[in-house]
Structure 1
Amino acid sequence: MSSADKEAQGGSVLADADPRRWAALAVLTAMQFMLMMDVTVVNIALPKIEDDLDFTPGGLAWVVNAYVLTAGGFLLLGGRLSDMFGRRRIFIAGVLVFGISSIVCGAAANSGMLVGGRFVQGFGEALAGPAALGLIPVLFRDAKERTKALGIWGGMAAVGSAVGSIVGGALTDLVDWRWIFFINVPVAVFALIMVPRVIPESRMARAPGQGIDAVGALSVTGGLVAIVYGLLQAADDPWGSTDVLLPLFGGIALLIFMAVWESRVPDPMIPMRFFTNRTRVTSNGVSVLALAAFYTYAFLLTLYLQQVLGYSPMKTGLTYIPFTIAIGVGMGVSTALMPRLGVKPILMISFLGSAGGLLLAAGGLATDASFLTGIMPGLLVYGFFNAVGFPALTNGALHEVTGQDAGLASGVQTAMQQVGGSLGLATLVPLALRYVNDHVADGDLPQIAQTEGYALALRVGAGFLVVATVLVLLLMDKVDSKPRDAVAEATSGAAVAQDTPRTPAAS
């Protein structure tokens, strides 16, 4: 008797659940924590890296851009590969690639070696991230448990982003910047050892001879890479320049071609049915705006603390401790409330509260601001409400996704986060920096211009979040607090390959 039949007779999938599922979640979230931490851990160390490896100012940006560009461009391909060839297998491959490239980055003898290692690191995330998130709906087939698991996943991702600044500052000041990469290795080794022990293999059912839609894979990957590259170029060049517009329009053209192609082929890489769920599509769309604000706040606050207030890297890292605590509290509140309220109300509360937090943070910026009255209020309010939304975004992005498309759905969601980060770095950060340059040229003191420019960017970021709130209100369907367990229904009858003995969680 299938799990779906048992549910129809009043039974519960919990009785058949894989007893290793929570241990598996711990391994998956540990790796996701590391992946998200790696996005922010580098920022504080950039001045030291510039000095040690003789980067030019323009070249230094590629320490961050190389990672974001590759990860954002290949996430959808990584998600589809995990669905087709096994989520555990692709996750292990991604962890291995990420771990080896981390060693290369830490041992970099010159700028080219470091940037090359960051490109490969981004590809490792593109494989491991979607595969890990795609495993959660398979492991947690009970709707209530899955909501909790996805809440933990989303919250830990947010904590990882915040902790990265603390870890980066501590290692850069107390040890050496190279250890921001070497610390990834023990986590990767732990994951490689534990994954075969606690995670069953799962993949989508495939017809004989079914393979990868090469045209769809190349067009969607090329389109995302081009768009992310164009957004990153906008940080240095005017929006009307050829260096910005050519990759942006080229990327959009490739994605339009991909949509037409996918609607005509019998075995598409991205089935059009994926975009018929309004909650899922809206969650992915507003993720772009939410992550644009998040990346902007973290980036500009780091610059403000070091360049305006004169904080050391270590002190800058410690400044983010209240932010991390607020994120932990917000994650717990969100996980507790989501089964009662649903995704839509949680997201609206999160976005409005986060917008208020950014406005509070902008109002606290001053050339002589104190930490307690100027910096910490914004950190606490924004950190809390931002964390409330992360688990809801993850749940919304995987709403009613079938086991067949779990990796694809997670790839889309993570890709939208990367595109959102790129959008923030390419729009809000240049807005602030150009304000600074223009006012310094007019005779303003640099520190005053920086403070005002950074505050302006945060206020615009708050506007992004208000727009996200309106989109959720108008476009997102109301998600029942006890949704139909589409994943359990889909996976109960799916043909799922296993490298370990069959378990109900992946049957």
Structure 2
Amino acid sequence: MNDQARRTRWVLTVALIVQFLVALDMSVVNVALPDMRDDLGFTPDGLQWVVGAYALTFGGLLMLGGRLTDILGRRRILVAGLVLFGGASLIGGLVQSPGALIAARAVQGIGAAALAPGAFTLITVTYPAGPERSKALGMWGMAGAAGGAVGVLAGGLLTDVAGWRAVMLVNVPIVVFALFGVVRAALPVAPDRATGPRLDVAGALLVTAGMSLLVLGVTRTEAHGWSAPSTLLTLGAALALLVAFALVERRVHEPLLRLGLLANRPVLGANLFSLLLSSTQFASFYFCSLYMQQVLGYGASKTGAAFLPFCVGVVAGSLIGTKAVAVVGIRLLLVAGGLLGTAGIALFAMTATPDGSFALSILGPSLLGSVGIGLCFIPLGTAATKDVVPSEAGMASGLLNSSRQIGGSLGLAALVTVAASISAGSSTPAALAEGYRAAYWVCAGLLALASATAMALLPGRDRPTATATAAVTDRTPAAAWRDLQKNSEEF
């Protein structure tokens, strides 16, 4: 293996580790929350901020992290993000007060906001469009799915064996290995352009404040409700700031988010699909965990182990998608994946009864839904960066990650309200199951809407342009056929 091939493999390794790490910490603390409450003395309202602080800074700073990646270079931002994430994880595993743990989780979110766009752009700028990029994006999607699933399993096992602090400290060796990978990948220190763009300070402040308030408002709805004055005020302020951000971006020379990027139909369609997909995926994961523990009576470790089929299904779907995207194209693969995921979630809704079983209520729906979700990762990542110039790759990546994070937060908060309204405050297994089933039906509807969005906005397979066709006709039949094959593999 030559030096270039070795560096390319290390680039992919770093991207996969980072994606796994960011996804892992979205779920690894959930099972440990009761132990954190008992050890540090959290109040019921305070405990939610162990999750909320991470989501708040992660979602609020993603766009800024993506643009800083374009301006300062991927290596600088990745190293800074890893150091922040690893340091916060170490401190979080040693803290002795609720406030300190919440602060550590907030800093983890800042690190994640720097890491997520950088990891994605490592793939899109290293691999040219075609089968190699599709394969790399498939592995990237699998790493995220594995991180989420392993987070639930590891959270239960680590908490049972070593205590809640282990779910924070486990990040440290992963970060150390990722830093080693950055060195071996020999990533360039400078950004793609010799004279990098200037940071849009006004846009950065507005979108960070707006996104942070949006995540804050949505996170608080579980405790205060959607109609509470504080909720409405927070969400109204978020909307005003985001409108102001859009107005500013139309006027600055080098914006944080070039609004013309959304005129690119694949980019717009991918982000809308991601918003709806993450809304259903995050919520379904959450309600499935609660259903197993509060209705079926599973313990922490057993609940984590029960998520393994979901992880296997996502991996299988991603592998199928890697091969199929060149054959059927972005649009049909996303539609097929969305509809298959819809069927899986609808099966959850039909079988999540108080007397349900693992085989009927968990295994079957998990495999069906996860394969559908896995099919979506490759075409989603491809569409989100289609026809995007390398200097805006971080911008496009930050936008995709923002839509995923915000979609997950919005969907989860809204569907928690749906489930609570159906269960009407009752904690009996029958009432809880009824609430979860209602939330599942809404999830299925949202994912079906995502499929319709893909059909309306995303292109089918590429066709050779007139220029390309003319060039082909001047060549031998064998050469012309090779060129047509190459064009078709762009998707």
Q: TM (normalized to structure 2)?
A: 0.90
**Structure 1 pair 62–482 and aligned structure 2 pair: CA distance change class (3 A):** farther
Q: In the TM superposition, what whole-angstrom CA distance separates every residue of 1:36-57 from its partner, at most 9, and x where no partner exists? A: 0110111111122111111111
For 2:380, the equivalent position in structure 1 comes to: 393
1:54-453 matches, cutoff 5 A:
54-201=41-188, 203-205=191-193, 207=195, 211-438=198-425, 440=426, 446-453=428-435
Amino acid at match of 2:431: A
- Is the CA contact 1:340–1:481 (under 8 Å) kept in the aligned structure 2? no
**Structure 1 pair 458–142 and aligned structure 2 pair: CA distance change class (3 A):** closer
Q: For residues 266 and 450 of structure 1, what CA distance do their matches in structure 2 show?
A: 53
**Partner-residue secondary structure (3-state), 2:397:** helix
Q: For residues 479 and 247 of structure 1, what CA distance do their matches in structure 2 show?
A: 43
Q: In the TM superposition, what whole-angstrom CA distance separates every residue of 1:95-149 from its partner, at most 9, and x where no partner exists? A: 1100000111111211111111000000000011111211222211353322221
For 2:468, the equivalent position in structure 1 comes to: none
Q: In the TM superposition, what whole-angstrom CA distance separates every residue of 1:285-326 from its partner, at most 9, and x where no partner exists? A: 121111111111111111111111111101111111111111
Q: For residues 481 and 179 of structure 1, what CA distance do their matches in structure 2 show?
A: 52
Q: For residues 460 and 145 of structure 1, what CA distance do their matches in structure 2 show?
A: 36
Alignment length (residue pairs): 463
**Partner-residue secondary structure (3-state), 2:224:** coil
For 2:481, the equivalent position in structure 1 comes to: none
RMSD after superposition: 1.9
Q: In the TM superposition, what whole-angstrom CA distance separates every residue of 1:239-264 from its partner, at most 9, and x where no partner exists? A: 22222222222222212211111111
Q: For residues 286 and 83 of structure 2, what CA distance do their matches in structure 1 show?
A: 29
Q: For residues 217 and 377 of structure 1, what CA distance do their matches in structure 2 show?
A: 45
- Is the CA contact 2:27–2:148 (under 8 Å) kept in the aligned structure 1? yes
Amino acid at match of 1:300: F
- For structure 1, the 5+ residue unaligned runs are 1-14, 484-507
- Is the CA contact 2:8–2:185 (under 8 Å) kept in the aligned structure 1? yes
Q: For residues 306 and 146 of structure 2, what CA distance do their matches in structure 1 show?
A: 14
What is the percentage of aligned positions where both structures have the same residue? 38
- Aligned: 1:477 with 2:459: yes
**Partner-residue secondary structure (3-state), 1:234:** helix
- Is the CA contact 2:14–2:119 (under 8 Å) kept in the aligned structure 1? no
Q: For residues 241 and 472 of structure 1, what CA distance do their matches in structure 2 show?
A: 35
Q: For residues 16 and 140 of structure 1, what CA distance do their matches in structure 2 show?
A: 16
- Is the CA contact 1:98–1:124 (under 8 Å) kept in the aligned structure 2? yes
**Structure 1 pair 481–98 and aligned structure 2 pair: CA distance change class (3 A):** farther
- Is the CA contact 2:330–2:458 (under 8 Å) kept in the aligned structure 1? no
**Partner-residue secondary structure (3-state), 2:29:** helix
Q: For residues 420 and 272 of structure 1, what CA distance do their matches in structure 2 show?
A: 19
Q: In the TM superposition, what whole-angstrom CA distance separates every residue of 1:250-281 from its partner, at most 9, and x where no partner exists? A: 22221221111111122222223322211111
- Is the CA contact 1:339–1:481 (under 8 Å) kept in the aligned structure 2? no
Q: For residues 142 and 364 of structure 1, what CA distance do their matches in structure 2 show?
A: 41
* Alpha-carbon distance, 1:355 to partner: 0.9
**Structure 1 pair 139–175 and aligned structure 2 pair: CA distance change class (3 A):** same
Amino acid at match of 1:460: V
Amino acid at match of 1:276: A
- Is the CA contact 1:226–1:247 (under 8 Å) kept in the aligned structure 2? yes
Q: Please identify, of 17-26 and 224-233, the stretch whose mean Cα deviation from structure 2 is larger.
A: 17-26
Q: For residues 19 and 311 of structure 1, what CA distance do their matches in structure 2 show?
A: 45
Q: In the TM superposition, what whole-angstrom CA distance separates every residue of 1:178-218 from its partner, at most 9, and x where no partner exists? A: 1111111111001112202214225242648x521110111
1:34-45 matches, cutoff 5 A:
34-45=21-32
- Aligned: 1:464 with 2:452: no
Q: TM (normalized to structure 1)?
A: 0.88
Q: For residues 308 and 105 of structure 1, what CA distance do their matches in structure 2 show?
A: 32
* Alpha-carbon distance, 1:155 to partner: 2.2
Amino acid at match of 1:166: L
Q: For residues 318 and 65 of structure 2, what CA distance do their matches in structure 1 show?
A: 27
Q: For residues 451 and 348 of structure 1, what CA distance do their matches in structure 2 show?
A: 29
For 1:491, the equivalent position in structure 2 comes to: none
Q: For residues 308 and 129 of structure 2, what CA distance do their matches in structure 1 show?
A: 35
* Alpha-carbon distance, 1:385 to partner: 0.9
* Alpha-carbon distance, 1:391 to partner: 2.3
* Alpha-carbon distance, 1:16 to partner: 12
Q: For residues 404 and 12 of structure 2, what CA distance do their matches in structure 1 show?
A: 21
* Alpha-carbon distance, 1:81 to partner: 0.5
* Alpha-carbon distance, 1:481 to partner: 8.8
- Is the CA contact 1:353–1:385 (under 8 Å) kept in the aligned structure 2? yes
- Is the CA contact 2:11–2:122 (under 8 Å) kept in the aligned structure 1? no
